[in-house]
Amino acid sequence: MGQYNLKNLFDPHRIAVVGASETPGTIGNALMKNLICGGFSGSLLPVNPKHKTLHEHECVQSIRDLDTEVDLAIIATPIHSTIDIVHDCIEKKVRSAIIISAGGKEIGKQGREIETKIQHAASAGGLRILGPNCMGILRPGINLNASFASEMPLTGNLGFVSQSGAICSAILDMAFKERIGFSHFVSIGSMLDIDFGDMIDYLGNDPTTKSILLYIENLTNVRKFMSAARSVSRVKPIIVLKSGRSPAGAKAAASHTGAMAGEDAVYDAAFKRAGIVRVESIEELFDCAELMAKQPLPMGPRLAILTNGGGPGVMAADTLAKYGKNPGALDPETMAAFDAFLPPFWSRDNPIDILGDASARRFGQAMEVCFNSNNLDSILVILAPQAVTDPLSVAQALISAFSSRKYPVFACWMGGKQIEAAVNALNEAGIPTYDTPERAVRAFLYMVEYAKNLEMLLEVPPKIIGNMDFDPEKASSLITGVTDFIPEADAAEILRAYGMPMIRIKTAKTESEALSIGRETGFPLVMKIMSPDIIHKTDAGGVQLDLRSDKDVSQAYNRIISSAARYNPDAKIEGVTIQPYLPNPDFEILLGAKRDPNFGPVILFGMGGIYTEALKDRSLGLPPMNRLLARHLMQETKVYALLKGFRNRPAADMEKLEEMIIRLSQLLIDFPQIAELDMNPVLIKDGSPAAVDARIRISPIDVPSSLHLVIGPYPEENESHMRSSDGRRIFIRPVKPEDAPIFTELFKKLTPTTIYFRFFGRLKELKPKLLARFTQIDYDREIALVALDEDAQTDILLGVARIINEPDGETGEFAILVGDTWQGKGIGSNLLKKCLSIAQKHGLKKVHGIVLAQNRNMLALGKKLGFDISREPGSSDNQLVIHLGDNVS
């Protein structure tokens, strides 16, 4: 449903409480008291057939009896009665509901059936539902406590969403202690309708929310979640605590890849792809919440550790080292500044130990030096209780030094009762406090991780060198009709159809066939067992290397067959495979894939060969992939350091490896039925990779290509061709992340007038964040097409048009830009017309945009395409609107 009616849920003016009560200890009583005591200023409408008034408010028997519109209904009745209440809400055109009631799918089949009925009715009637089995929502900024939590938290800039009511209660208690405020505090419950994707989108568009915290047990619509998170994480940090790090997802694995790509590892990969920071515990979630709520993001990882005790400083430095970081280096100017006032025996390094007799004044001076250093990004101030140091005075010195600066500062005041006043003062001043150096440093590093994620999201992927050709028809002919393992030789042919460098594999069912193939192929050879029931061929004695004669081939065949029979007497033995032997490779890697039940196809890259599962050096990624994502996938493994060249072994051809990952990604996009795939090992010799083993398992799936992915792939179906009015051949296609350079080149050639018409102001350059915004498209929520000169030897961007989906899921805003040289040639009209046609297929009902009064060409184009044109109220600008009916003119 998009974000339709969510504003009514979170900013209601009229609330009906179904099941309202005055009986102590009941949910209905708690809800009414919390709404009243919380200060809700709108209309409160209790609903209970047994009362005429409740809490001094007129009470009605049923939602149907209300004579006013209702923005939000809170339902606190037994779950079996909820379906009738939902129908009443729909009849009265209630816009949103919170179902507090438990007893849904968590109790089994009967509960699932009730939830299904509610879901169908709500979806058909346009009613948005939070819950069931939830605590409700709190919005301190508007005095809304629509929950059974007894206390209202402080107003702040954190949006918190939890699947667990118990976690909500724990976080609330901690927030009161540390004086952390929230913009939204949401117990999301069973997610019958509103889910994490909806909440990320809503909070991402909410100006009062600066950061988003999530406690997740499971996801429902994963593709919606990924789309929302990838969009919002570019502008707001998203921190997730995901429970359940169970290896259960790997239990039934039938390949190396399956065994190594467990469920939790896939969540890690997905969160990383979306720019989300994942924490390990409630403690860390809360620590991150405090740092985000009170401090700006650090500009980098260079942390100053300022302390009056050597031990705590070492503890902080050790925690940094554990995560591969070091304290920021002190430059000569900073050292000289410290020397000017610190005793001769100060540490002369970072951690900056200003000694146990440090006064508040010395702390204050040291903080000023850290603030003024160009080599430091953030300060952790650690105070260890000393007889001559007053914790409160030092806290006040820190507050005074920090008060006028936008600089990340956090504190660790160690101790108990004697530091309480100091900690309270720091919290009041907006400085995060931690009780141990380790907790403080971990929270800081999570913020550094988010900053790094953001930087990676803005990177421009390099273009693929040359064309990538695929033969999906050949692959399909070998996959169609198969419902389990594909024969190894056929698997190799499928991979070869997608451009994978595969060593040629031939199969032999008998010893005489093996001899014939051996002579034909030429020595030396490799022979392997061919059996769908034997995964680890080496363990079964099913691999024989360096065969150099007919005698070797004959003996190897018999050894393999007999050894395999002993290893697994029930195994189906189909013969052997034979291929050329590649001796002494420089490196062995594994490249594979697995279909995850939640996230669809997942790509695995790591160390290959016989040590694959023992060393578990691997990283996971989600298709679609580009060169930048492929490089990041490799960089996350230890084997990557070897692949760059090690001792006398040459570096691997990294571009070839990137290309292999992209080709595998395309194969997984085109064929949802691929359940598992292994290329292990991929041998690298003199830099060049070649796969020598191929294993593919097919499993039926009822989802068509592209819908099985959690990230929308490049929509090739939206490519088209046209001719401009002067006869130029134009290629129109969706925007790609690799297009950033041609966007920059087009911008350089635009006149100031064209820039002003498009951007409504003067713009000197396309900065990285804006360039990423224009080129890194989520195809599920934005339509963006470019026009390229088809006859040019290099890509030349002539124009671009886009329609950005708005939160309601039914409306979009258009924008269009054509280079000055190519204006008036029909390019702009074709681009926008194509965008409107795609928008119509996506279900958009209305598209609008603002056009400056002076932009006569755009006004003429709008009129030509059927837009309604009107003046913006109180402005000379024009509003263009088109309603997408059956046809786009």
pLDDT given for residue 170 in this prediction: 87
pLDDT tens, 244-253? 765 544 444 4
Handedness of CA 366, 408, 776, 628 (dihedral sign): positive
pLDDT tens, 425-449? 998 888 999 999 999 999 999 989 8
pLDDT given for residue 245 in this prediction: 65
Q: How far is CA 656 from the centre of its chain?
A: 27
pLDDT given for residue 2 in this prediction: 56
Give the mean model confidence (pLDDT) for residues 89-106.
Answer: 91
Buried/exposed 728-741: b ≥16 CB within 10 Å, e otherwise: bebbbbbbbbbbbb
pLDDT tens, 201-228? 999 999 999 999 999 998 989 999 999 9
pLDDT given for residue 501 in this prediction: 95
User: Contact at 8 Å (CB) between 298 and 444?
Assistant: yes
Omega before 734 within 30 of 0, i.e. cis: no
The third-level CATH classification (topology) of the domain covering 504-580 is Dna Ligase; domain 1 (3.30.1490)
Tokens 């690799």, located at residue: 738
Residue spans per domain, the chain: 6-290, 296-457, 504-580, 716-883
Assess whether pLDDT exceeds 70 at residue 581.
yes
User: What's the pTM value of the predicted model, to 2 decimals?
Assistant: 0.90
Assess whether pLDDT exceeds 60 at residue 106.
yes
Vertex 678: Cα angle to 675 and 680 (nearest 5): 170
Residues ≥6 apart with Cβ < 8 Å to 602: 261, 266, 269, 593, 594, 595, 596, 620, 621, 622
SS3 814: strand
Give the mean model confidence (pLDDT) for residues 14-39.
Answer: 95
Expressed in percent and rounded to 5, the helix, strand and coil fractions of the chain are 40, 25, 40
Q: Note the CATH number of domain 6-290.
A: 3.40.50.261
Backbone angles phi, psi at 18, to 5 degrees: -90, 120
Q: How far apart are CA 270 and CA 85, in angstroms?
A: 38
Give the mean model confidence (pLDDT) for residues 276-305.
Answer: 88
Determine the residue type at 308: N
Buried/exposed 627-642: b ≥16 CB within 10 Å, e otherwise: bbbbbbbbebbebbeb
pLDDT band at 677 (very low <50, low <70, confident <90, very high): very high
Long-range interactions of 244-250: CB distance < 8 A, separation 24+: 244/217, 244/218, 249/596, 249/597
pLDDT band at 888 (very low <50, low <70, confident <90, very high): low
Give the mean model confidence (pLDDT) for residues 517-535.
Answer: 92
Determine the residue type at 791: D
pLDDT given for residue 513 in this prediction: 95
Class of the CATH-defined domain 296-457: alpha beta
pLDDT tens, 115-152? 899 999 998 999 999 999 999 999 999 999 999 988 89
pLDDT tens, 296-335? 888 889 999 999 999 999 999 999 999 999 999 999 999 9
SS3 187: strand
Backbone angles phi, psi at 530, to 5 degrees: -115, 100
Same fold, 6-290 and 296-457: yes
pLDDT band at 258 (very low <50, low <70, confident <90, very high): very low
pLDDT tens, 512-522? 999 999 999 99
pLDDT given for residue 403 in this prediction: 78
pLDDT band at 465 (very low <50, low <70, confident <90, very high): confident
Q: Single out the residue of 65, 63, 57 nearest to residue 82, CA to CA.
A: 63
pLDDT > 90 in the chain, percent: 73
Q: How far apart are CA 237 and CA 219, in angstroms?
A: 19
For domain 716-883, the question of CATH label 3.40.630.30 is answered with yes
Tokens 């939000």, located at residue: 72
Q: How far apart are CA 186 and CA 165, in angstroms?
A: 9
Q: How far apart are CA 303 and CA 370, in angstroms?
A: 10
692: its two tokens: 């020598």
Q: How far apart are CA 516 and CA 210, in angstroms?
A: 70
pLDDT > 70 in the chain, percent: 97
Q: How far apart are CA 869 and CA 862, in angstroms?
A: 8
pLDDT given for residue 464 in this prediction: 78
Vertex 530: Cα angle to 529 and 533 (nearest 5): 100
Please give the DSSP secondary-structure letter assigned to residue 619: E
Give the mean model confidence (pLDDT) for residues 338-364.
Answer: 94
Q: How far apart are CA 278 and CA 241, in angstroms?
A: 6
Backbone angles phi, psi at 150, to 5 degrees: -75, -25
Q: Single out the residue of 260, 256, 194, 207 nearest to residue 235, CA to CA.
A: 207
pLDDT band at 675 (very low <50, low <70, confident <90, very high): very high
Supply the DSSP string of 456-504, one letter for each residue: HHTPPPPPPSS-----HHHHHHHHTT--SBPPHHHHHHHHHHTT--B--
pLDDT given for residue 249 in this prediction: 41
In order of 535, 738, 758, 792, 799, the CA distances from 735 in angstroms are: 42, 8, 18, 18, 11
Average pLDDT of the chain, as a whole number? 91
**What size, in residues, is the chain?**
889
